[in-house]
Structure 1
Amino acid sequence: MSLKKTLLVTCLLAVSGSAMAATTADLLVTGKIVPAGCDVTIGTGAALDLGDINVADLNEDHDKPTTLGNRSIGYSITCTGPVVLSTSWVDNKEADGIYPITGNHNLFSLGKDTADAPIGHLWFQHGGGASVAVTGNGAETHANVITSANGVDWFDATYGQASKTHVNSFAPVGETTPAPYTTYSGNFVLKPQIAPVNTLDLSTALTIDANATMELTYL
C-alpha cells in the first residue's frame, strides 16, 4: 500500500501576565497516515442505452436466449501514486433474478418483467491478455487481469470477467502477483442476453434495468 504521511506540529506557549514566566509548554502533534487515493470513472456516468429491441428479433424457443450485439464502455482508475488494488462487483439488481437460473456468479441481472420473470442476464469483462493499459510501474505499459476467490491465491482471469464472488487485480503480462500501478484504463465488453420470448410477459414493453457497482480495495 502506498502511503502519504501528513504531519502537523502545533506549539502552544503560555505566557503569564504576572512577572513569573511559565515553566512548562505543550507540544501537540497531530496527523494522519492515509493510503494513496484513487478515482474511478466508468463511461460518462450515464446509463448505457441498448436501444429498442424488437420482439420479432428474439428467440421464442425455451432454453434458447437471444444474444445481443456486444457493447463497449470505457473505464479508468487514476491514483495519486502506484497502488496495488483489486476490484469486486455487486449486482444491485440481483433480487430481480437472472435467466437462466444457473448459479453462475459471473452473470448479472437485466431486471424483470411484470410477472417477476428475469429478462435475461449480462456478462462483462475487462478482456483477455494484456488488455489493461497501465502506468507507474517501470516500463510496464499493459497488464493482465488476474482473479482470486480468497484474495491470496491468484490465477490468470482468461477473459478478465467480472464476478460477484471473485476479485480481480492486475499483474505484469505472464505473472500472477498483483502489482502497483498509478493509472489503469481499458474497456469493459458487455454481452447481454435476453430470455426466450415464451418465458416473458410481453403484454407491455419491458425495461432493461441493469445496475452493478465496482468496488476498489487497496491490497
Structure 2
Amino acid sequence: MKFAPTLIAAAVISAMPTAFAQSTTDISVTGTITPAACRPTFVGGGVVDFGRIASHDLEEDAHTPLPEKALALTVVCDGPTRFALRSVDNREGSATWPSGAGARAAYRAHGLGMSGEEKLGHYLLDIEPANAQIDGATAYATYTQDQGLTWSNTADAVHPISPLELVGFSFNAGHSAGPDPVTHLASALRISAHVAPAQELSLTDEVALDGSAVIEVVYL
C-alpha cells in the first residue's frame, strides 16, 4: 500500500501531453567488485592506554604532550590488491586545535572526547614507512588528498593517517603513480596525544580520555 501514491502519480504523468514530459535526468549507479579482501589488524587489539595523568602536570595555557606510543599494524589481503588507508574519527568534533600547527595538522587531529562541553584534547596518527614492509620488501608511502586523482611522490617519510587523506604504499621510491598491489603490509602506527590546556578544563572531577578511531582499507 505504501507504493500506491507513486503508481498513481506515474499514471497521471504518463497521461499528460507530450510537452509536459520531456525533462529527464539520469542516474548513474557505480561500484567495484574486488576479487580480494584485505583485513587490517593491530597487535594487542589496538588499545592505547596513557594511564593516570595528574591535573597539576598539565600546562596551563598550552597543550600537554603525552608520551608517544606505537601500535603494530598489519594488513593482509587474499591476493595482490591496490589499497590505501584512512582513519574515521569516532569522536569527530571533539578534537582541539593543535598548538602552533597549520591547517594540515588541524584537519588530521582526532578527538579525545568531551567532558560536558569541554574538549579534552586531540591525538595524531602517523604511519612510519621507514619501519614498514610490503610483501617482505621496503615500503614507500604515497598519499592523495583528492580521492586518488593525484598522488604524492613515493618516499620513506612519515605520513599522517587522517579522514581526509588516503595513504598507500609502493615498492619503489620517487614516483607518483600511486600505490602498488600488495598482499601483506606490516608497519608501525605512531600515536601522539595532547591534552587541552588546563585553563580550558574544569578539572574538578576525574575525567577519562575517550579517543576512538577506525583504520579503514580503501580499495583503489
Query: Normalised by the size of structure 1, how large is the TM-score?
Result: 0.75
Which of 78, 81, 98 in structure 2 is aligned with 1:80?
78
Who wins on radius of gyration, i.e. which is larger? 1
Matched with 2:49 is 49
CA distance in 1, matches of 2:170, 2:205: 47
Does residue 39 of structure 2 align to residue 39 of structure 1?
Answer: yes
The 8 Å contact of residues 87 and 169 in structure 1, kept in 2 or not, is answered as yes
Alpha-carbon distance, 1:75 to partner? 0.8
Indicate which of 55, 64, 67 corresponds to 1:66. 64
What aligned pairs does 1:186-201 form with structure 2 within 5 A after superposition?
A: 186-201=187-202
Work out whether 1:167 is the aligned partner of 2:150: no
User: In the alignment, what sits opposite 1:15?
Assistant: none
Stretches of structure 1 that go unaligned for 5 or more consecutive residues are 1-32
Question: Structure 1 pair 100/130, CA: closer, same or farther in 2 (3 Å)?
Answer: closer
Contact 1:39/1:78 (<8 A) preserved: yes
Shift of 1:183: 0.2
Asked if structure 1 preserves the Cα contact closer than 8 Å seen for 2:124 and 2:191, the reply is: yes
**Match for residue 152 of structure 2 among 155, 176, 179:** 155
Amino acid at match of 1:65: H
Change (3 A) 1:133 1:39: same
Give the Cα–Cα distance (whole angstroms) in 2 for the partners of residues 212 and 80 of structure 1: 25
CA distance in 2, matches of 1:201, 1:43: 36
- Within a 5 Å distance, the mapping from 1:1-219 to structure 2 comes to 34-45=34-45, 47-61=47-61, 64-100=62-98, 104-114=106-116, 116-127=117-128, 129-135=129-135, 141-150=137-146, 151-156=148-153, 158-174=157-173, 175-176=175-176, 177-219=178-220
Could you say what the CA RMSD is over the residues aligned between the two structures, in angstroms? 2.0
| CA distance in 2 between partners of 1:99 and 1:47 (Å) | 24
1:100 and 1:112 map into 2 onto residues whose CA distance is 16
| Deviation of the 1:172 alpha carbon | 2.3
What is the TM-score normalised by the length of structure 2? 0.75
Cα 1:142/1:80, change in 2 over 3 Å: same
Compared with structure 1, are the counterparts of its residues 91 and 183 closer, same or farther at alpha carbon in structure 2 (3 Å cutoff)?
Answer: same
Tell me which amino acid in the other structure corresponds to 1:165: L
- C-alpha separation between the residues in 2 aligned to 1:89 and 1:171? 20
Deviation at 1:34, TM superposition (A): 4.6
Runs of 5+ unmatched residues, structure 2: 1-32
Aligned positions, number: 179
Distance in 2 (alpha carbons) for counterparts of 1:96 and 1:66: 16
C-alpha contact 1:91 1:211 (8 A) present in aligned 2: yes
Distance in 2 (CA, whole Å) between partners of 1:105 and 1:198 is: 23
1:159, distance to aligned residue in structure 2 (A): 1.6
**Structure holding more strand per residue:** 1
Contact 2:67 2:192 in 1 (8 A): yes
- Find the counterpart in structure 2 of residue 12 from structure 1: none
* CA shift for structure 1 position 46: 5.1
C-alpha distance in structure 1 between counterparts of 2:79 and 2:215, whole Å: 20
